[in-house]
Structures are given as structure tokens and as C-alpha cells.
Structure 1
Amino acid sequence: MRNPALSIEVDRPTSQHVRKNANLLSDLLVEAIAYLEGEEAAALVARARRVASHEDVANGDAPVLDRLFSDLSIDEAVFLARAFASQSLLANIGEDVAGRRRHAEADAQPGDERPRTLVDAVKLLKRQGKTDEDLAKTFAAMNVVPVLTAHPTEVRRRSMVDRETEISRLMALRRHHLPPDLEAEIRESLFREIALMWRTRLYRPERITVKDEIRNALSIVRTSILPAIIDLYGDWTGKIGQHGHLAPLLKLGSWLGGDRDGHPGVNGETLKLAFASQSRVILDWYAGEVRKLWSNLAVSTAYTPVSEELLALAAQTRDPSVHRLDEPYRLALELIFDRLTAVSQKLTGQPVAFANGDTDVEPYGHPDAFVADLSVIIDSLERNGGERLVGTALRTLVDVVKACGFHLMSLDLRQNADVHERTIHELYERAGSGVAYLKLDEDARCKLLIEELSHQRPLVSPFTAYSEETTRELATMTAAAQAVRDYGHGCLGAYIISKSATLSDILEPLVLLKQVGLVWGGAAPRASVKVAPLFETIGDLENGPAVLRQWLELPLARSILGDRPVQEIMLGYSDSNKDGGYVASRRGVAVGASALAREADRMGVGLQLFHGRGGSVGRGGGPAAEAVLAQPAGTVQGRIRMTEQGEMIARRFGDQPTARRNLDGLAAAVMMASDRPVQKLDPKIDAAMTALADASFHGFRALVYDDPAFEDFFWSVTPISEIVGLNIGSRPASRTASRKIEDLRAIPWVFSWSQSRFMLPGWFGFAAGVDRAGLSVEQLRDLAGSFDFFASLLSNMELALAQSHMPIASRYVELSPDKDNAQRIFATIRREHERAAELALAIRGGSSLLDNQPDLAESVALAGRVVDPLNHLQLELLSRRRAGDQNEELRLAIQLTVAGIAAGLRNTG
């Protein structure tokens, strides 16, 4: 039985809006099933949900439900899995629509001066004494980049996202008081969309490809993220543009098509595809804006003079209409439109939208040339008509071009340091140099690589055959070099080096990039792409500042970083969590960030941190703006990049208002975080946190890595084996073919614990750490009251504890064939969960988890009511599968339960 003092009341009523939305959508789903499948089918769904809502089921004791599920035929199991998964998706929509209303209502509350927007942040800083000059310097340094990444366990299809988007739109219309006939019309439209969703396949018949991931992400970028950015730049230009040039303070980044770490499907071709696909989206928008300007600027020289520069630009127009000879703005815009079409033909093989066909004019060689032409129009209007004739649309277009170029999103390249080592080794081996790179120690490697960067001679020969891996690496880098030539330097975000641990890990990709012309060797080497080490494990985070110091002490580093040196470093929340547990990971990232900032400052170099966060608590998840504000003082410096991963992209950016709110809040948080002075941490607080992190690290590893039975326990009591074989995500679940925890990717690690309702990565190790460190509740309470980092850590951990469900998790334990060890390990996990919940409540002074955040508690409770039946059904299906039933329909049913649970819990990986 769940301890009622440590749990959310499952019957706690949701808010009025959420409850009404959920009930309506649930009723419409049953209505659609009855209409399409018959009353008997609808009755089966209703009976299963009624049994699943029984109190005994909520507490893990489900004999009636077990009998119902065990008697199901495979067709009935697939049917129920579809119904429960659909219910899960619809419940999310109902909550999200109500949530947007709550956000709107909260934003309207008087007297609340929290800077939710960049405009609010500027106003607050000005009240605090910042001058326009101060703000201009801040804006000039700002670089805020959410980076979209794929999700190895992404479960949704694009067609399902389309249905969800339309249902959300229709539900949003119902927030207003509508006439009965219009209300009935919207309800009928909702029924149609839900019925179509029911008849739409939830799963993929084949594993998703990188092309699918690119297309899916770009769909959200096109429909919500890009429009939100356009709105924001228009707003910022009008309200705070006087403080300096704003663009490109907010930009977009992506890993889709460029992240090849452990991904055999990512190569030079996917890189080309990503850039061409992205380019088409942004060029079509530019073309549409130019057409609008053409319609508006029918300004005749008969009534106003224009600049000589504008006349010269207009004179370049091919075959101008005789009706436009006195309209130079339109003639100039015709030329601009044609040159955009030529750019699109060159980069994507197609003309822009609205074009009548191909054009033979010269394409823009760089986005700056496009901006220059637009600036000619702006300057002429200002000089001859006044500032107000320019309007925000034209200036916003210029700002967006500066931020997005012809590439829309900057693409990162990522590869594992081990691959670089092998590639370098082969290049020296095939060159006949006699160098056995893999046998060299670290000092010898660095000396060799530095020497290689001191001249321009290539290692690669076009007359030499290389292995498949080396050929693929060189082809990808060659494609990246071509992209820089086609799109400009801004098209590449950074070259990320996974598993960075030494100086040679930074030098190796520089030597490889030299082979394709992205790095130029010599006495003063230069580079067209930033190289960013990724420190992932606890040990790597601790050693990161020393590696940074070694790198920055090299003369070639200063040459490569340029006149205004800024070094980017990526911090890994995921692998550090899998390496040492939640507390040690978060502490390691925070301490590492502070130490890196101090080291960079000591060396006279700016720092840009790239936070590799996921959606779940265990992987650094949570609201992005709050995460920025929780960063140690001195580490943001106006610059930040952070990953937005798979499933969270749709949640945070799935519609334009939500995307705008999150992006604006992120920019505001960066500005506020950059303004905080660096203060030395109280030695007592520092000592207590260090003791807790160290003890938590050992408590976590004692179970996960030191218990010889744990590996088998994990593979048997979670659906990881089945997830590995499902068509979810394009990336393999593990970097190698082994079952070792250290080789498993962090996302499927977290995903598997979420599916089985343990949520272990978000809390395990905390209680053991407290006990090992000998910290009292009073000490912890003082720590939470005086150290925002620890308070935030506790808040996020409490959410993970509330989302877990030990009674359901105990049923997954029954799947293990090793009953004795499974029960022994689960007893340890359950004790740790109970102790962690007791400590969290004792520190905060609460009586039940999340009772201080009722909206969040309601959200967790709603998710539980939707997901619990799916867990019980999944348990039945996993039991059949592991008993030897290899029916393809059974595999499909399991996949549907995985999709439904993932959708209901949302931040599963």
C-alpha cells in the first residue's frame, strides 16, 4: 500500500477547466469508438477504465483488472492499448489548453513584477539603475540558442501530431462564450478529429529515419517556433530596440542530421538534407515577406524623392513592367525576390514559394547581401518619408535574416572522441608515417597533433582507400565544409566532442577538420567552426577546468578563438546522472560550470556553456527559464545554449503562443542571470553540499554498478529489452552491443525507469547520501533556505518522487526470473524512495508530495489516472512476450502501451 502521508491523493479534483476539457475529450473518444467500432467495443473500454479506477488498482493490488486483461485476445489487447493510448494523448491536450489559460490569467495578475519577458527584464534592470549603455553592451553580447535534438525514444508520428494540433486549436476556441450553434459545430469538428485520430496509426511500421526526424521537427519550427521568433523580434524592435542592435540575440540550433555519435544513419547526406530542408522553410518565409512589402510599397517618385542607392538597386531589375517605372521600391523588391528564388534554386533545387518559375539572376552569395539590399530600402524610406513609414515588418525581416540567415537553424556536428582517435590513427597509418597513434601516451599525442596543426600539409590523400568508418567521417566533414561555402559561417553551430576527457580530445577534431578546409594550419591556425568539448561523467566534469586550462595555454588556441575569444563547453546532465546519480550529477554540473567560468576568466577568455538537458528531472529537465536562473552566478555571461529534446519540443513549442512564451522567458532569464554578481559560497554550505554529493555518488554506485545482480535486474524489471526492438527513434539504444549500464545511452536508461514507474534516475541516492554524510534535517533545512541551488534540486526531486509509483513498480519486479535478487534490490529501492520522500517533506514542512504546488500535483494525479491502466496492460503483455509469445500483434500492442505511457507522463526521457 502507498503511504498516504507520502503520496498525492489520486482523487484530488483537478481544476475546473482541466476537468471539463478531459471529460469532453474522453466522452468524444468513447462516442467515436462506439460510432466506428460498435457499442460492444465502447463497452469494453468503459469496463476496463472503470475497473482500472478502483482504489485497489491504484494501490497496485489489481486481481479484477488482471483477470480482465489475462482473458483478452490479442486483438482485444491491441484495441485496448489503442484506446488507452488515445485517452492519454487527449488528456494531455485537455490539460495543455487549460494550462495556457492559467498562464494567461497568471500573466494578468497585478503587482507581479517577475520578468517573464525580455521587455519586462529590461524595465526591471532600468529600475535597478542600468543605463542604456549598459543594456546595449548586454544585448551586444547575448546569444540565446535553444538547440533541437532528436529523441532515441520518440514515439509520436507526424500525422498524430497534426491531429493533436487541430484538436488543441478547436479546444482553445471553446474558452470563449459561444452561441449554441457554434458550440455544436466545434463539438462536431472535435468528434471528427478524434475519430480521424482513432483511425490513424499510432505506431510506425518501420523504425523512424533521420529524414523523418528532420521533417517532424521542421513541421513544428514552421508552424510555431519560427512565427514565435518573428513575433518576438517585432515586439523587441518596437519596445527595446533603442538599447542597441537586438539581432541576433535569439537564434535556433539543431542536431538533426549532424549528431552522428553512435548513430550510423547520420552522415554527409543527412547533413545536406537537413540544410536544404531548413533553407526551404526560411527562404519561403522571406519570399512571402518580400511579396507583402511589394504590395505595400507602391510609392511613386511622382510624389516623393528616393535615394540614389534605391534607384541603382531598382535599375538592376530584369524586364520591369512599364506600369512600375515610377515605383522604384517595387522594382527593387522584384529584384530581391528574384535573387531569393535564385538562392533557393542553388541551395534546395527549387524556387521559392510564390515564384512563377526559375530565374537567371545572380543569387545572393551571403545573407549579408540580402540584408544590405533591404537596408537600402529602409534608408531611403527614412530619409524621404520618415521613420514611421518603415514600420516594424521591414525591420523585423532584417532582424530575422541576421538571426536565421539562409540556414534557419545552425547545425552542430557531434562525434565521440573514440571515433576521432581511430580515424587519426588510420590517417597516420595509411600515410606511411610509422606513427601508431593509438599506442601513444597523452603527451606524445598532443605534441604530434600540435605539430600537425602548425603547417598546411594534408594527411588525407585522394589516392588512398580508407575504412568505412574513416570514409564516412571524412565525407561528413566534407559536407560540412561545403555547407559553410553555401550558407556562410553561421550555418555550423559547434563541433561537439562527446566523451571529452583530455587535451588530445580537443586537438583531434581540429586535425580532422583541417583535412577538409574548415581549419587552416600554420603559425597562426584559424577555424571556421567552434570546437566544443562535452564533459559528461562526474570525473570528466571535475577534470574539465584542467583540460580547459591546458587548451587555452596553447598559442594555437588563442589564434583559433580569434580577437574576441569565447570558448564553448558542453555540460552533460544525462551521462553524469547515469554515472553518479541525481544529486552528484547536478552538483557536478554546477561546480564544474563555476570552475570553468573562473578558469576562462583567469585566462582572459569568454565562456559559453551548452547545457545538454533532457526532459526528465534526472536529465536536468524542467522549465528552461528556471534552469537558467538557477545557474551559478558568472556562468551565463549573456550566452547560453541548451538542448530541447524530442518529446519536449512539441510540449514547449507545439503552438505559437506557448513557443513565444517559452522563448521570451528564456531570453529574459539569460539577461537576468547575466546581471548577477559572483559571490563566494559560504564554506559551510559548500562543505555540506560536497559531502552530500560525494555520499550520494557512492550510494548510487553501490547499487547500480557494484551490485552484480543489478544489471540483470534492470533488464528484466523494465521494458528496456522491448524498447530496444521497437520502432521508436532512429538512434540505437546503446553505443555498443553490450548490456552494460555504462554503454547504454542515458535516454533509454531514463525512459525504461519511467515506463515501469520507478523514476529512479530522478531521486535515487539522495537519502543514502544524507545518511552517509550524517546530515540532519535541520542542516538540510538551513541549506535549502540559504542556497537556491539546493532548494531547486529538492523541488525537482520531489516531482520525480511524486511521479513514481512504487506499487506499480513492484509488479514489474515480478517479471524478473531471479526472484530473490529482484526482491532484495527492490527492497533497497523502495526504502530509498520512502526515506527520500520523508526527507523532502521534513525539509519543506509539507504533509504530502507537491502539496505546496497544487496545479502540479493535479497534473501528476491526472497523468496517473490516465497511465495506470496502461501500465497494468503493459505488464500483462510483457508477461506473454517473455513467456515466449512472439506474435507480431503482441509486439504492436506493447508498442502502443509504450507510446501511451510516454505520452501520459510526458517527460519520460
Structure 2
Amino acid sequence: MAGPLSVQDPQADTGAVSRDVRKNVAFLDGLLIEAIRYLDGDDAAHLIDSARRAAAEGGSAPHLDFLFSALTPDEAMLLARAFACHSLLANIGEEVAGRRRLSEADHQQTLAGAAEALGLSKARIRKSVEALSVTPVLTAHPTEVRRRALVERETEITRLMALRRHALEPELDRRSREALFREAALLWRTRLHRPEKITVKDEIRNALSIVRTSILPALNSLYAEWGQAFGTAPQAMTLGSWLGGDRDGHPGVDGDTLRLAFASQARIVLDHYAGEVRRLWSDLAVSSAYAGVSEAVEALAAASGEASAHRADEPYRQAFEFIFDRLCASAQVLAGGPVAYALGPSDAPPYGLPSEFVADLEVIRESLEQNGGSRLVGEQLTTLIAVAKACGFHLLALDLRQNADVHERLIAELLTRSGSDIDYLALDEAARQGLLLAEMAHQRLLRSPFIAYSEETAKELRTLEAAAEAVRLYGPQAIGAYVVSKSATLSDILEPLVLLKQVGLVWGGAEPRAAVRVSPLFETIGDLEEGPAVLRSWLELPLARSLLGKAPVQEVMVGYSDSNKDGGYVASRRGVARAATALAAECERLGVGLRLFHGRGGSVGRGGGPAAEAVLAQPPGTVQGRLRMTEQGEMIARRYGDQATARRNLDSLAAAVLTASQTHLGDDDPKVAARLDELAAASFHAYRGLVYDEPGFETFFWQATPIAEIAQLNIGSRPASRTASRKIEDLRAIPWVFSWSQARFMLPGWYGFAGGATRIGLEGAELADLAAGNELFAALLSNMELALAQADLTLAGRYVALAEDRAGSDRLFDIIHREYDAAVALALAARGGTKLLDDQPSLLESVALAARTVEPLNHLQLELLTRRRAGDEAEATRLAIQLTVAGIAAGLRNTG
């Protein structure tokens, strides 16, 4: 059972959902049934309506299970589709009622508001804002179950429902309802699952669709607002991506995907620039008869070749005509066709670099200032210049990521094939470092165009060649970083430098330099602990100081997902915080700036939670005005799916970075820090004791969760596991978290906390004191309470019944259940609550609605899993399971 204090208690749910939400959900649900009856007849509608009513009246009652057990495979698939659609519509009903926005409102702030709240002088504020460097990085991690077609359908239903918040005249009300009926019917006719595995090309297209329609317009709007607020538009926000460049464990990513990503991004941003230039062309019909212009503008105007008599005295328009033509020519080179609004190909010379485009815009701006004053320039031109400086022709800076193990093999082969008798893989760490530093001390290459390399090495070299090509075509900001997964030693940082040297992105010799920065990624608990020492050994090298330049800033990525799977929620969060503080201390000691790159997922178990809250809770002195953060899977659509939401989240992220940057190293209470370290260590042992030490746990995981079925889903292009084994160590963090979420355990978000607290004698009152003295721990408790509230161990117990070894599974489930009950009790004691989330009524409502929405899907999934594991190979059964997975994920707004 779920425990006496859980939000899943029936009494706890009573009246939790507000009238507006209930009204919206009932309205949309009625439309769905009406559409099903209209399209598929009374029998289908009756079956679905009966199941829906049984779920509403009894939930887990035996008659619901009896109903599901009697379903044919086709009927099961029909019900799975209906319940999955209901989950999607319930989310919309809640969103339109504004409850979810209310639950997140505490974490929303504007950059201008944050600057004002600091109470600093205008000069100090402007300096701080101009120094900001904030980058959300979109990744292709497979946590978005919904197809793009579904996301677009949801967007339109949300828009139409939002209109109904206002009182409509009878005819408008009828038309609105009919439009919504059509949308519900189209949703019912839209395939909810992917028949084939998604490709990298699909991932690029899906993500860039959101960039084009909402993220780029939101960024443009923000830059305009910041320009008004601060007197100039600071390039505080840029955009990043892993789409097409993240090769770690992904056989489908190579040089071709890198080129595709850049060409697609260039198309979007150049079209944006072209549209802005056309607007400025229309705006600046300034006659030379009334105002002078600079010689530079006259030169641009003359170069346009504009022959129309109607433009003869309008040099700004002529200049913009030439700029437009050059953008068109640039698009032909970078994206394979002219820009939007173009009548055809351009004969004008393309821009060699985005800085040339910016320079032409600056010519216009300076002339307007000189011949009319700064107020004549206008917001649009100022904003275009700021966006062009931030986004260039690449739009999103693409990161390259690869595993350190791959680099080792590449270096070994390059050495062997170059004629060396050195067995690189057999060398110890000191010998490897010496060899790699020797390679960086000269400009000779290991690679030869006359040698045929293995498939792996040849593919990696082609990818690096594509990266070098991108830097030449799109400019030096096109490549964000070279991220090294599984970094554990200094040689892991040196190896990619030697590899980048082979394609001209790094130059060796007496004064080595680099066009791409290398960012080590410390992921496991052990790697996070050793990371500061590795960074120190790197930064103490003359090579590092030469590569980092005159104003050195070193980027380091810290991972939440693998550290959580390795050591549990508390040890992971504390491990990342400790590492961040130690990394900042090493950089400060050596006179180097630090940029932390946070590899967060959407779920609590992978570092999720409100982004701004997470930034504000970072250890003192670790943000330093610079931050990058991954945005993964379903979180991209949720946080940036429409322009208003994207703008709000980008602004609040920048505001949080500005605010968090005002703290300094050493501000933490050492006694609180020491106690949290004790808790993290004890929690690590409690978590490992279950996941890695308990006999039979691996089998329990594979049988008591839908992991086997999730591994077969076509939700992402990346394999679910790094190897063919079933070991938890080899499983990727996303399917690990996804599986526990589907089975309603939510285990990665809380397990180990109570066991660790008990081991060191930590109780409610002291927990409250620790939370008051450490914002990161307070956020940890808050996010953990959400995971506990989302869990339903009554349902989880039914998944346990799927396991073949009932006695062993029941024993493990009893361990998990006791830890859950203890965690709930401690979470409530820490803040003096009586029920999970009772201090956050809006969030409580959201969780309660999600629980009721997905519970029928869980029961249907259990029935289908039972059949499948008993030998039912019907295709309809397989598809129905996939639909239940999609519906549960949609209802919980959570996958991995």
C-alpha cells in the first residue's frame, strides 16, 4: 500500500482537483467520446465510456481488472489509445486552467527584475549583465514519447481552449466547440506510436521546429526587452545543441549528421535575419534630401546596384537591399538555397563570416546615430545586431561528445599505423600523459591520407573533419565544446586535443592554440570526487594556459543521471555540489574562470526540477555569471513549446544566473556541509546495498518494471544500453528512470535518503535546520517530496507480481516499501507537514490529477504485460503496451 501519509491516499485526493480543471477535463473528455462515437460507432464509444466510468468509480476495484482481463487484443489497443488521448487532454485541461503555471510561478523572475532587486549601481548592474553567459543546450536524449504531430495537435487544442476562458457569444461558442471537436477527432485519428525507430534526422527536424517557432522568436523578444532595460542588448543568452554531434554510444551520429544539423540551423537563422532586414528596409525610407548618410552607407547602397528611380534618394533602403542579397547568397552556400522572401538566387558575394553581416548592420546604426541621434536607430535594428552577434550563422552552437574509451582506441590506432611500436593501451597514466604532451609540442600529424584506418577511426576522423569545415563556414562560435564522457584522468583531456590536431582545430608547437574547447564530463560518484584533482593537473600545465588564452575560462560538465544511477539521489546531488565547489576553488587558486555545464534530465532522478530554482540553489561561488544546462526530451516541448513559455523560461534562467553569481566561495556553513557529506555517504551505501548488492535485484528490475518493453520503444535514435548486457551498470540512465516511473516506484528520486539518514541518526528537526542552512539541500528535499508524491506503491506492488520469483521479489519489495514509508515520514517531519505537498496546493492538485488519469492505464498495462510474458505475441498486444507507456508518460509528464 502507498502508506498513510502518501498523496495517493483516497482521502488525500478528495477535492484536490479544482473546479476549473475538472470542468476543462470533463469537457475535453466528452468531446473525445463524441469524436470516437462519430468516427468508430456506438460499440467503440460504449466500451471506452464503460471503462472510463469504471475507472472513475472504482479505480483499482476488481470489476475494472475483470473488464480488462476480458478484452481482445484489438479492444485492448482501442482502450489504450483512448486512455492515452485522455491523458494528453487532461494535461491540456489543467494547463489552460492555469494551475500548473501557478505551481511554477515562484520560480519565475525576469532578468531586469533580478538586476533591480540586487540594489547595485547602474554601472555595476550593466557590467554584471554584459558579463553573463547563459546557454540552454538542447539534446536528443530519448525522453520525448510524443510524436511531433501530437505536440502540434496539443498546441492547437490548448489555443482553442484558452479562447473559451472568456465568455463567448452563442455563435462563437458553437464554432469554438466545433473546432475543438474536430481537433479531438484528428487526435483520435493520429497515430500515437512510432512504427519505426526515430532517426537523428528526425530528432534534428523535431527540435528545430520548436527553435524556429518559439525559441528564436522568444530570444529575439528578450533581446529587445533587455536592450530597453539596460540601454544596450547584452548577449547574455546563447543557444546550444547536441543534435547531430553527440556520438557517445550513438552509431547514427557522424559527419553527415553534423553537416545536416548546421545546414538546417543556418536555414532558420538566415530566414530570420532576412525577415528582419526586409522589415527594416520598409521602415527606413529615409531620403537623402532630408538627412545625410555616412560614406560607408553610401558604399553599401552603391554596391546594391539598385536602379529604380523610386529608390534613388533612399540610401538606407539600397544598403539593406545589398545586405539582403548577401544573406541570400550566404544561404545558398550554407543551406543550399536562397533565404525566405527572396525572388531567386543572388549574384551578390556571400558573407564570409557572420561578423561581416554584423559589421554592415553597424554601418547602418552608426550612420543613423551620426545623422539623427541614437533615438532614430530604433529597437529593431539594435535587437537584430544583438541576435546576430549571439547566433551568427550557426544559430545553436553544436557540441561534439564522445566517450574517453573511444579516444583511447583512436590514439592507439593512429600511433600504430604511423609506424610507432608503442602499445598505447598498455601504457600507464603517466606514460600516456608524457606521450600526448610530446605530440602537442610539435605540429606534425599522426594521421596520413594514404593510410586506410579501421571503420571506427575513419568515421571519427570524418566527423572531426566535418567539425573543422563547420568552423570555416559558420565561424569560430559554431562548435560549442568537445565534451569528453567518462573523464577520469588527465589523459582523457589530452587525447581529444591530439585528435582535434589531426583536422586543424588544434595547433601544437611552442604556442599551442585551439578553435574548440575541451570540456571533461565527470559523471559517476567516483569521477565527481576525483574531478577537481584531474582539473588541477590540467590547469597547471603550460599547455592548458596557452590553449585557454589571455582571459582563461575552463568549462567542466557535471552529470546528474549516471551519478544518480551509480549512487542514488542524495549522493548524486551532494556529489555534484561538492565537485562544483572544489572545481571552483581549483580555478580560483590558479586564476582561471569556471563555467559549469550541468547535464540535467527532466525527472527528479536525473537532476530535474525547476531550472531557475536549481540555479539559485547552486553552491556559493560556483555560478560566476557563466552556466550551460542541458534541456532534454519532453522538457524541450514543455519549457519552450510556445513563444510565451519559452520567453518566460529563458528570462527566468538568465535572472537566476545573475542572482546566483552574487555569492562567493566559502559562504557555506562548514558544519552544515560536513553533516550533508555524512548523509550523502550513508545514503550512497543504502542505495548501493539495494541496487548493486542485493541478490536477485537485477532480475527483479527486469521483471517488475516494463524495462524490456521500453527498450523496444521507438522514442529515440540512441540504444537503451551501452552494451548488449542486462547489467544495470551498462544501462543508460534514461530507461532506468523511465522504467521505475512507469511502474510508479519513482525509486531513483528518493531511494537511499531514509536509509542514510537512519544510519547517521538524522531526524526531522535536524533535517529542517540543514535545509534552512543550505538552499541546495532544501531544493533536494522539495524535489524528493514530489517524487514521493508521484509514487504509488499500491500499483507498484502489482508490477512486483509480474516477477517469476515471487518470494524473492516480495522480499525486495518489502525493503523498498519500508524505505519509502521512512522517506515520507522524514520528508514531512523536515518541514512540519502532515501530507505530501500540503504546502503546495497547486502542485498537489497537479499530482492528484495525474494519478487519477494514469491509474487505468497502469492497470491496462499490467494486464497486457501479463499476457505478453505468458507468450501472447499478437501485434495488437505489443502496440497496446506501447500506447499505455505513452499515455502514462504523458499523464505523469515524466519519462526519463
Q: Same fold (TM over 0.5)?
A: yes
Q: Could you tell me how far apart the structure 1 residues matched to 2:674 and 2:177 are?
A: 60
Residue 609 (structure 1) aligned with residue 596 (structure 2): yes
Q: Could you tell me how far apart the structure 1 residues matched to 2:59 and 2:51 are?
A: 14
- Residue 17 of structure 1: how far off its partner (Å): 2.9
**Aligned partner of 1:848 among 835, 838, 841:** 835
- Residue 749 of structure 1: how far off its partner (Å): 0.5
TM-score (norm 2): 0.98
Residue 357 (structure 1) aligned with residue 348 (structure 2): no
Residue 695 of structure 2 is matched in structure 1 by 708
- Residue 680 of structure 1: how far off its partner (Å): 4.0
Q: Could you tell me how far apart the structure 1 residues matched to 2:166 and 2:431 are?
A: 71
Percentage of identical aligned residues: 67
Q: Could you tell me how far apart the structure 1 residues matched to 2:309 and 2:492 are?
A: 63
Residue 124 of structure 1 is matched in structure 2 by 117
- Residue 748 of structure 1: how far off its partner (Å): 0.7
Q: Which residue type is aligned with residue 534 of structure 1?
A: L
Q: Could you tell me how far apart the structure 2 residues matched to 1:652 and 1:133 are?
A: 32
Q: Could you tell me how far apart the structure 2 residues matched to 1:102 and 1:435 are?
A: 60
**Aligned partner of 1:836 among 813, 823, 838:** 823
**Aligned partner of 2:161 among 167, 171, 180:** 171
Q: Could you tell me how far apart the structure 2 residues matched to 1:518 and 1:214 are?
A: 25
| 1:771–1:360 distance in 2 versus 1, CA, 3 Å | same
> Which shows bigger deviation, 564-573 or 21-30?
21-30
Contact 1:100–1:658 under 8 Å retained in 2 = no
Q: Could you tell me how far apart the structure 2 residues matched to 1:230 and 1:513 are?
A: 34
- Residue 283 of structure 1: how far off its partner (Å): 0.5
Q: Could you tell me how far apart the structure 2 residues matched to 1:402 and 1:274 are?
A: 20
- Aligned 1:139-158 pairs, distance under 5 A: 139-158=129-148
Residue 39 of structure 2 is matched in structure 1 by 36
Q: Could you tell me how far apart the structure 2 residues matched to 1:101 and 1:373 are?
A: 45
Q: Could you tell me how far apart the structure 2 residues matched to 1:366 and 1:94 are?
A: 47
TM-score (norm 1): 0.97
SS class of match (1:642): strand
Residue 229 of structure 1 is matched in structure 2 by 219
Q: Which residue type is aligned with residue 246 of structure 2?
A: D
Q: Could you tell me how far apart the structure 2 residues matched to 1:621 and 1:360 are?
A: 50
SS class of match (1:283): helix
Q: Which residue type is aligned with residue 835 of structure 2?
A: S
- Aligned 1:212-361 pairs, distance under 5 A: 212-241=202-231, 246-361=233-348
Q: Could you tell me how far apart the structure 2 residues matched to 1:735 and 1:808 are?
A: 30
Q: Could you tell me how far apart the structure 2 residues matched to 1:470 and 1:101 are?
A: 49
> Which shows bigger deviation, 80-89 or 132-141?
132-141
Residue 11 of structure 1 is matched in structure 2 by 14
SS class of match (2:378): helix
Q: Which residue type is aligned with residue 228 of structure 2?
A: G
Contact 1:320–1:331 under 8 Å retained in 2 = no
Residue 84 of structure 2 is matched in structure 1 by 85
- Residue 797 of structure 1: how far off its partner (Å): 0.5
Q: Which residue type is aligned with residue 331 of structure 1?
A: Q
- Residue 290 of structure 1: how far off its partner (Å): 0.7
Q: Could you tell me how far apart the structure 2 residues matched to 1:638 and 1:170 are?
A: 40
Q: Could you tell me how far apart the structure 2 residues matched to 1:680 and 1:304 are?
A: 57
The gaps in structure 2 that reach 5 residues or longer are none
Residue 175 of structure 2 is matched in structure 1 by 185
Q: Could you tell me how far apart the structure 1 residues matched to 2:795 and 2:179 are?
A: 37
Q: Could you tell me how far apart the structure 2 residues matched to 1:393 and 1:16 are?
A: 44
Q: Could you tell me how far apart the structure 1 residues matched to 2:414 and 2:233 are?
A: 45
- Aligned 1:625-704 pairs, distance under 5 A: 625-704=612-691
- Residue 490 of structure 1: how far off its partner (Å): 0.6
Residue 195 of structure 2 is matched in structure 1 by 205
Q: Could you tell me how far apart the structure 2 residues matched to 1:102 and 1:654 are?
A: 14
- Residue 51 of structure 1: how far off its partner (Å): 1.5
Residue 64 of structure 1 is matched in structure 2 by 63
| 1:106–1:883 distance in 2 versus 1, CA, 3 Å | closer
- Residue 47 of structure 1: how far off its partner (Å): 1.1
| 1:301–1:100 distance in 2 versus 1, CA, 3 Å | farther
Q: Which residue type is aligned with residue 738 of structure 1?
A: S
SS class of match (1:508): helix
> Which shows bigger deviation, 172-181 or 70-79?
172-181
- Residue 437 of structure 1: how far off its partner (Å): 0.5
> Which shows bigger deviation, 308-317 or 10-19?
10-19
Q: Deviations over 1:334-358 (max 9, x none)?
A: 1000000011000011100111111
- Residue 296 of structure 1: how far off its partner (Å): 1.3
Q: Could you tell me how far apart the structure 2 residues matched to 1:667 and 1:681 are?
A: 23
SS class of match (2:636): helix
Residue 159 (structure 1) aligned with residue 149 (structure 2): yes
Contact 1:6–1:838 under 8 Å retained in 2 = no
Q: Could you tell me how far apart the structure 2 residues matched to 1:100 and 1:867 are?
A: 19
> Which shows bigger deviation, 144-153 or 73-82?
144-153
Q: Could you tell me how far apart the structure 1 residues matched to 2:668 and 2:117 are?
A: 26
The gaps in structure 1 that reach 5 residues or longer are none
Q: Could you tell me how far apart the structure 2 residues matched to 1:458 and 1:555 are?
A: 21
Residue 48 of structure 1 is matched in structure 2 by 51
> Which shows bigger deviation, 770-779 or 504-513?
770-779
> Which shows bigger deviation, 536-545 or 168-177?
168-177
SS class of match (1:5): coil
Contact 1:12–1:861 under 8 Å retained in 2 = no
Q: Could you tell me how far apart the structure 1 residues matched to 2:570 and 2:100 are?
A: 34
Q: Which residue type is aligned with residue 82 of structure 1?
A: R
Q: Could you tell me how far apart the structure 2 residues matched to 1:874 and 1:753 are?
A: 14
| 1:782–1:101 distance in 2 versus 1, CA, 3 Å | closer
Contact 2:95–2:101 under 8 Å retained in 1 = no
SS class of match (2:347): coil
Contact 1:139–1:246 under 8 Å retained in 2 = no
**Aligned partner of 1:874 among 847, 861, 868:** 861
Q: Could you tell me how far apart the structure 1 residues matched to 2:392 and 2:171 are?
A: 47
- Aligned 1:434-833 pairs, distance under 5 A: 434-833=421-820
Contact 2:622–2:665 under 8 Å retained in 1 = no
SS class of match (2:810): helix
Q: Deviations over 1:846-874 (max 9, x none)?
A: 11100000000000001011111111111
Contact 2:557–2:598 under 8 Å retained in 1 = yes
Q: Could you tell me how far apart the structure 2 residues matched to 1:440 and 1:20 are?
A: 68
Q: Which residue type is aligned with residue 302 of structure 1?
A: A
SS class of match (2:303): coil
